[in-house]
């Protein structure tokens, strides 16, 4: 089965083509184009306009790279949510147009679940992981239990990537700020005390962000602030992930989302996994960030398990929660 998946929940528009080979996912192409705001944060309508401008071209590029013909495609999938309304509507419209013009079925999928399934689909021994999903807008600890992907812990305010990007904006660096903060943190030596906020299994970053901005205004060394932000936020994320692993008695951990590119975060989570005798997984970078291949793969899993969607019912859902999905394709 060959599926074309379209992603467009926020800053990135992506089109991936995947094929199911035995039980695994073979990625044939995965083209991504990211919108960078000229200043400030992501403006939903501007991001949607960006997606509208580039999507036709990205679809063509993805088909060309995969070395297939349009007629070979069996299924069209798209990210139904959660995400920014204008962006979701733009990509859903493209998916509907493609489904109607190729006369192929359409299926809308949950973006967060796709981050988990692409790990299971592409990494050999990754079977039943706890996912630490760290992206711009989303930060969740997700694992399978009793027919659903359940959220064991999540941010109560902003996503971890958003926290890094907001701090980056304060200090005058361009989006995405995570990689630059990672670089600066390498030269940080002094740990500055920042709020470490865990409530039950949930985390919060706004207080830490304000405190970090105050350190910056007071003239503390930038490298030390970046180092302290990473140490504090990543420790909190690792702690909640470990608790979810203990609670669910799972012995695999998977990273996903753009922040998973960060070496310090990887090292911390890997060390935790190692100390528990658990396995650590992280997909390749293009499958960690928002991408069409993961949307295509989840589309295939859902379709094969018998789920169907008509174009008339392919609504987007900005607040589509991870645990709203009935997971019919695994046990």
Q: Which of 7, 117, 154, 182 binds ligand AMP (CB under 6 A)?
A: 182
Count the residues of the shown chain that bind ligand AMP, applying the rule CB under 6 A. Answer: 18
| 238 touches ligand AMP (CB under 6 A) | no
Q: Determine, following the binding rule CB under 6 A, whether residue 14 of this chain makes contact with ligand AMP.
A: no
Residues binding Mg ion (CB under 5 A): 135, 290
In the list 188, 257, 283, 299, the residue contacting ligand AMP (rule: CB under 6 A) is 257
Compute the distance between CA of residue 167 and CA of residue 138 in angstroms, rounded to an integer.
Answer: 17
Q: Which of Mg ion, ligand AMP, none interacts with 179 (beta carbon under 5 to 8 A by kind)?
A: ligand AMP
Q: Which stretch binds ligand AMP (CB under 6 A): 147-155, 215-223, 253-261, 268-276?
A: 253-261
Contact between 74 and 99 (Cβ < 8 Å): no
Phi, psi torsion values for 129, nearest 5 degrees: -90, 160
106 binds ligand AMP (CB under 6 A): no
Q: What token pair was written down for 261?
A: 């590119």
Q: Shortest approach of ligand AMP to residue 252 CB, angstroms?
A: 21
Choose between 161 and 299: whose C-beta lies nearer to ligand AMP.
Answer: 161
CB 296 within 8 A of CB 4: yes
Helix, strand or coil, per DSSP, at residue 97: helix
CA-wise closest residue to 157 among 233, 90, 106, 221: 233
Show Cβ contacts of residue 53 under 8 Å, excluding neighbours closer than 6 positions: none
154 binds, among ligand AMP, Mg ion, none (CB under 5 to 8 A by kind): none
Q: Which is nearer to Mg ion, 135 or 155 (CB)?
A: 135
Q: Which of 168, 165, 126, 189 is nearest to 259 (CA)?
A: 165
Q: How far is the CB of 195 from ligand AMP (least distance, A)?
A: 19
Helix or strand or coil: residue 39? Answer: coil
- Please tell me whether residue 177 binds ligand AMP under the rule CB under 6 A: yes
Applying CB under 6 A, does 228 fall inside the site for ligand AMP?
Answer: no
Q: How far is the CB of 306 from ligand AMP (least distance, A)?
A: 30
Buried b / exposed e along 154-183 (16+ C-beta atoms within 10 A): bbeebbbbbbbbbbbbebeeebbbbebbbe
Which spans of this chain sit near ligand AMP (rule: CB under 6 A)?
Answer: 12, 135-136, 161, 164-165, 176-179, 182, 257-259, 261-262, 289-290
């Amino acid at each position: 089965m060959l599926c074309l998946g379209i992603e467009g929940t926020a800053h990135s528009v992506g089109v991936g083509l995947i094929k199911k080979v035995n039980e695994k996912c073979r990625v044939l192409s995965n083209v991504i184009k990211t919108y960078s705001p000229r200043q400030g944060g992501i403006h939903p309508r501007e991001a949607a306009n960006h997606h509208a401008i580039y999507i036709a071209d990205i679809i063509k590029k993805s088909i060309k790279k995969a070395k297939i013909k349009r007629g070979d495609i069996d299924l069209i999938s798209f990210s139904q949510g959660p995400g920014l309304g204008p962006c979701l509507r733009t990509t859903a419209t493209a998916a509907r147009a493609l489904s109607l013009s190729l006369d192929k079925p359409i299926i809308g999928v949950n973006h967060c679940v796709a981050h988990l399934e692409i790990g299971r689909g592409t990494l050999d021994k990754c079977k039943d992981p706890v996912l630490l999903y760290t992206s711009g807008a989303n930060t969740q600890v997700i694992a399978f239990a009793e027919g659903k992907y359940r959220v064991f812990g999540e941010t109560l305010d902003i996503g971890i990537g958003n926290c890094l990007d907001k701090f980056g904006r304060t200090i005058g660096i361009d989006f995405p700020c995570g990689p630059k903060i990672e670089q600066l943190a390498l030269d940080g030596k002094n740990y500055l005390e920042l709020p470490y906020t865990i409530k039950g299994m949930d985390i919060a970053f706004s207080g830490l962000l304000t405190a970090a901005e105050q350190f910056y205004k007071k003239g503390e060394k930038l490298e030390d602030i970046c180092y302290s932000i990473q140490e504090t936020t990543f420790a909190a994320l690792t702690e909640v992930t470990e608790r979810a692993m203990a609670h669910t008695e799972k012995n695999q951990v998977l990273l996903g989302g753009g922040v998973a590119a960060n070496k310090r975060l990887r090292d911390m989570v890997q060390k935790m996994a190692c100390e528990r005798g658990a396995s650590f997984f992280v997909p390749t970078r293009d499958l960690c960030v928002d991408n069409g291949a993961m949307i295509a793969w989840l589309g295939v899993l859902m379709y094969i398990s018998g789920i169907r969607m008509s174009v008339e019912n392919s609504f987007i859902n900005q607040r589509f929660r991870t645990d709203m999905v009935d997971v019919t394709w695994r046990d």
